[in-house]
Amino acid sequence: MSSKLTRSNRAGWLFALPGFSLLFLFIIVPFFFAFWLSLTNQRLVSPNQAEFVGLQNYSNLLGLAVVTLEPERDDAGEIVRDDDGEIEYPRVRTITRNKEFPQYRGMGEWFRWQWGDTAKVVIASDVLFMKALVNTLAFALFIVPVQGGGALLLALLINQKLRGINVFRTVYFMPVVISIVVISLLWRFIYSGNDGLLNNILEVLTFGAFTPIDWLGRTDTALGSIIAMSAWQGMGFHMVIWLAGLQAISPTLYEAAAIEGASKWQTFRYITWPGLRNTAVLVLIVITMQSFAVFAQVDVMTNGGPLDSTQTLVFQTVERGYGKQDISGGATISVILFLMVLTISAIQGYLTRERK
């Protein structure tokens, strides 16, 4: 005779079945499929049979080396300098295209620094991947505090018993509901260099002293612009999570604090923040995971440009897999991304664990 528990469990599993099977079919199976593809040279469109290539895709992405460039010297042995007094070096291609160094073939310069008279150049098998990696990490690093902190601020603001507070809640939540593609298109207009809204506002505020900036067209502002817009877009979602956390804190604690004469800051520091601990861990991990998947904004607003300043890993995955028909290359990036996100989430989970 089955107990009530297993019976209701059976019903529970039955209800979960559609969801689980869809997750299995569209998340878990493709994941293992991608892992397998990353070990082959599968192309999207090709008459050639795919072959097993082991870890070659990984070494094609992750290959790094440092080469030293000796300065150019004239016949007298003097170092050649250009008009600005900078030392002239031979081109990196004299090494990467040199038959004497087959191990560097096809690699390109990522960055370099000066070391005495010589130049140390870091060359990568896939410079684009390296740039995308750095940009994605920068994106995650900035968006976690901005989006999480902003969302907490909004949650504190709307956690008040005011008339019409639901209007504010709705307004703040609105960007989450609108498609990210639509939002990206709108923000393209806002950031426009000619007469975009942002430039106009800044000009009015500074009485014309501000010179308009082509926000998405400059290497030093493009990624920042995308970060700011993405943080704003996702804030409403995390605001709701913070709000749920805030409302779970017992009002008696606040009453006690009020009787003790605690200041606003003390109330926040010793009651609200400790009460939000679990919520904070959740928000931190969710934002981190989401931020590694940044794609639509880049695709719509900058296409990875200018000069690769907004390349991201997922954008590169799609660009490679579908644009350049290199399915195995795209799959390799997604596996690397998965491992990265897994590691970072695990570290975050460990660091924020409850110490007893």
Partner 1 sequence: MKLTKTILGALAASTALAGAATAQTELTLWYHGAGNDVESSLLNTVIEDFNAAQSDWTVTVESFPQQSYNDSVVASALAGNLPCILDVDGPVMPNWAWAGYLQPLPISDEAVEGHLDATIGRYNGEIYSVGLWDAAVALYARQSTLDELGLRTPTLDEPWSKDEFMAALDAAKASGNYDYALDLGTAWTGEWYPYAYSPFLQSFGGDIVDRETYASAEGVLNSDEAIEFGEWWQSLFEEGYAPGTSQDPADRDSGFNEDKYAFSWNGNWAAAATLEAGVDDVRFLPAPDFGNGSTIGAGSWQFGVSSACEHPEGAAAFVEHALQDKYMAGFSDGIGLIPASKEAAQMTEKYAEGGPLAVFFDLSEQQAKVRPVTPGYVVAAKVFEKALADIANGADVADTLDAAVDEIERDIESNQGYGH
| Site residues, partner 1 (CB under 8 A) | 41, 43-48, 91-93, 96, 106, 108-109, 127, 192-194, 214, 216-217, 219, 303-308, 319, 322-326
Q: What is the CA radius of gyration of the chain?
A: 27
Residue closer to partner 1 by CB (options 112, 120) is: 112
Residue closer to partner 1 by CB (options 256, 307) is: 307
Closest contact distance (angstroms) between CB of 125 and partner 1 is 10
Residue closer to partner 1 by CB (options 50, 202) is: 50
Residue closer to partner 1 by CB (options 68, 303) is: 303
Closest contact distance (angstroms) between CB of 303 and partner 1 is 6
Closest contact distance (angstroms) between CB of 186 and partner 1 is 13
Closest contact distance (angstroms) between CB of 36 and partner 1 is 16
Whole-angstrom distance, CA of residue 317 vs CA of residue 298: 13
As a whole number of Å, the end-to-end CA separation of the chain is 41
Closest contact distance (angstroms) between CB of 320 and partner 1 is 10
Q: Residue 314's closest CA among 305, 324, 306, 304?
A: 304
CA 45 from centroid of its chain's CA atoms: 29
Residue closer to partner 1 by CB (options 148, 304) is: 304
Whole-angstrom distance, CA of residue 345 vs CA of residue 145: 16
Measured on CA atoms in the order 25, 28, 34, 39, is the torsion positive or negative?
negative
Residue closer to partner 1 by CB (options 220, 354) is: 220
CA 294 from centroid of its chain's CA atoms: 5
* Sequence-ordered list of residues with C-beta below 8 angstroms from that of 159, at least 6 positions apart, any chain: 243, 246, 247
Closest contact distance (angstroms) between CB of 329 and partner 1 is 9
* Sequence-ordered list of residues with C-beta below 8 angstroms from that of 324, at least 6 positions apart, any chain: none
